[in-house]
């Protein structure tokens, strides 16, 4: 379903209309032809669907009224940006699902208690990546003074896009989780770290890598990304 903002005619649009898909990236708005997505019903897809069902069920059947109220307080205090770049407010349910799907996807236990720190974790301004054909790894540079680096049960999840021709200027495809970099109170993580790629990479290809930070209390940052041409 398309999300449309009107002003006179149409000033912003995101989603599918007829045979076209409208979206935006860092270069601005763009439109492309719509293609019917395939459903290979992979193990990864089945896990995400199972996780979603589990998290939604827990919200209604496991969490106490006080816990749901705490998530609602957190949600009311936290601004979120939608696909049109507008600032909106999500519900407590939205944030609970958003946070815990990410945790289960990263093989962590879910968090029931609503966060008491009423702000999203920041993106990492030092995030950058380099990729190697020889090692089939991505080297991730990040701010190792950030809170998550010295916190147990906190991490930065790393996601990889499908490698592209080096002339490509942006990537709007799906990102696949390839691993996480875990924080530790006993031995804080240091930068850089390496993560093995899922999609094989070759010299001169370009690839986009996405990061996202989650703290132990369940707070989940917006995504951030960098791209790099694959080296030897």
215 pLDDT higher than 60? yes
- pLDDT band at residue 204 under the 50/70/90 scheme: very high
Q: pLDDT exceeding 70 applies to what percent of the chain? A: 83
The string of pLDDT tens digits covering residues 57-91 is 999 999 999 999 999 999 999 988 777 778 888 99
Instruction: State pTM to two decimals.
Output: 0.80
Residue 210 CA to residue 170 CA, distance in Å, equals 13
Rounded mean pLDDT of 176-200?
Answer: 97
DSSP 166: T
Q: What is the pLDDT at residue 173?
A: 87
Predicted local distance difference test score (pLDDT) of residue 80? 81
Contacts of 27 (CB under 8 A, 6+ apart): 169, 170
Q: Which residue has the higher pLDDT, 17 or 91?
A: 91
What is the per-residue DSSP string for 83-98? TTS-EE---HHHHHHH
Between CA 31 and CA 198 the distance in angstroms is 29
Domain-by-domain residue ranges, the chain?
3-33, 43-105, 128-229
pLDDT exceeds 90 at position 110: yes
Pick the CATH number of 128-229 from 2.40.30, 2.60.40, 1.10.620, 1.10.3470: 2.60.40
- Residue 4's pLDDT is 52
Q: How confident is the model at residue 48 (pLDDT cuts 50, 70, 90)?
A: confident
- For the chain, percent of residues with pLDDT exceeding 90: 69
Can you tell me the distance from the alpha carbon of 112 to that of 15, in angstroms, rounded to the nearest whole number?
A: 32
- Mean pLDDT for the chain? 88
User: 14 with 84: CB under 8 angstroms?
Assistant: yes
Q: In this predicted structure, what is the pLDDT of residue 179?
A: 97
Nearest partner of 75 among 57, 60, 62, 93, judged by Cα: 93
Counting other chains too, the contacts that 125-129 makes at CB distance below 8 Å and 24 or more residues apart are 126/191, 127/211, 127/224, 127/225, 127/226, 128/226, 128/228, 129/209, 129/226, 129/227, 129/228
Q: In the predicted model, is pLDDT for residue 105 greater than 80? A: yes
The pLDDT assigned to 52 comes to 87
pLDDT above 90: residue 102: yes
Furthest-apart CA atoms within the chain: distance in Å:
58
């Amino acid at each position: 379903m398309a999300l449309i903002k009107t002003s006179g005619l149409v000033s912003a649009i995101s989603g599918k209309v007829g045979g076209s898909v409208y979206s935006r990236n860092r270069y601005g708005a763009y439109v492309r032809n719509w293609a019917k997505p395939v459903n290979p019903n992979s193990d990864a897809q089945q896990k995400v669907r199972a996780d979603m069902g589990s998290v939604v069920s827990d919200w209604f059947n496991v969490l106490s009224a006080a816990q749901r109220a705490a998530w609602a307080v957190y949600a009311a205090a936290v601004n979120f940006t939608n696909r049109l770049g507008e600032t909106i407010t999500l519900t407590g349910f939205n944030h609970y699902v958003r946070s815990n799907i990410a945790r289960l996807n990263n093989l962590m236990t879910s968090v029931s208690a609503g966060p008491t720190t009423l702000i999203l974790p920041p993106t990492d301004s030092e995030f950058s990546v380099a990729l190697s054909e020889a090692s089939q790894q991505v080297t991730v540079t990040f701010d190792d003074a950030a809170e998550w680096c010295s916190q147990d049960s906190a991490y930065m999840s790393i996601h990889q896009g499908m490698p592209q021709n080096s002339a490509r200027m942006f990537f709007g495809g799906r990102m696949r989780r390839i691993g996480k970099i875990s924080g530790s109170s006993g031995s804080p993580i240091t930068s850089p770290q390496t993560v093995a790629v899922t999609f094989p990479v070759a010299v001169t290809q370009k690839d986009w890598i996405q990061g996202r930070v989650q703290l132990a209390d369940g707070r989940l940052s917006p995504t951030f990304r960098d791209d790099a041409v694959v080296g030897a």
